[in-house]
Amino acid sequence: MMTDTTRRTFVTGATITAGAVAVTAANAATQSGGGPAATTPAAAAYPKPPYPVQRQPWPGLASKMTPRPDHGETSYKGSGKLAGKKALITGGDSGIGRAAAIAYAREGADVAINYLPSEEPDAREVIALIRAEERKAVAIPGDLRDERFCRRLVQQASEQLGGLDILINNAARQQTRPGIADISSQDFDDTMKTNVYAPFWLTRAALERMGAGAVIVNTSSEQAGNPSPDIVDYALTRAAVLNFTKSMAKQLASRGIRVNAVAPGPFWTPLQVSGGATPEKLRSFGGDSPMARAGQPAEIAALYVAAADPSLSYSTGQIFGSTGGNGQPA
């Protein structure tokens, strides 16, 4: 629903074409005697604060962000880790979900993405990128706050993909509020329904169709262990997802189904520019991390691959963190 055409990568303070970055990375590899360019360009090529202050209506579009996020459109190189797998990714139109969708397709998986109808422009780009890898791509828009839709989503994804091996519960809602008195009951309900109820509903429905070897990957956050004061409702949902992951891993181990989580730190996605951060926080977003910048979605995609990689069959109930140096989230 949220947070994944041709995308661009960036240099500090300015946007340049992704092709130029790819060429630069390739040249650097050649000059150093290395092989092909790395999956992501050199970290030094990514923008650092201050970022332009901008605001979009919820849930926002990556295609309208400045600078535009790098989801690995031109850089991610797969190696068949997920060949033949069938994956459903919520929030697969933009942000981290988009990066995961691109990576999964390039690792050989067929991919269904879910997103809100207003995110259709971003979703069309992702579908084109998946199909460019000659993988099956399925677009299923809809609101995850609706339990009946969640059941239909799993059913449609499974039917159209020809099965379901991987579920990524990634979609999330985040809206900054200065104090608890500013969080309306409707706000709280919308955040809980999107971030906690939906993963529960989707997991329950998916398990009716999953067999041994299947994997569920949940997106949590560093907010689970180090919550910010202005996103109280969001932070508590990330802690809930972390515990959900660990308990379900124990429950499903006997069935041969693994459950892992990825916990991002500050990543440059539409979540931030559509109400998830104040203008002041947005401008310096990620600047207080040891890496002194926000992460780009391309930099975390490989963790979603690792979380579902069949070769890591002893890894369940694990939390894969990517926080720019802020430490393991939990």
pLDDT in tens, 35-89: 444 465 567 889 999 999 999 999 999 999 999 999 999 999 999 999 999 999 9
User: For residue 157, which of 89, 81, 82, 83 has the smallest C-alpha distance?
Assistant: 89
pLDDT in tens, 165-224: 999 999 999 999 999 999 999 999 999 999 999 999 999 999 999 999 999 999 999 999
Give the mean pLDDT of the chain: 90
**Is the predicted pLDDT of residue 330 greater than 80, yes or no?**
no
Name the catalytic one among 46, 51, 76, 234: 234
Region 221-234 average pLDDT: 97
Region 100-106 average pLDDT: 98
What global pTM score does this model have? 0.88
Told to judge if 76 belongs to the known catalytic residues of this protein, a careful annotator would answer no
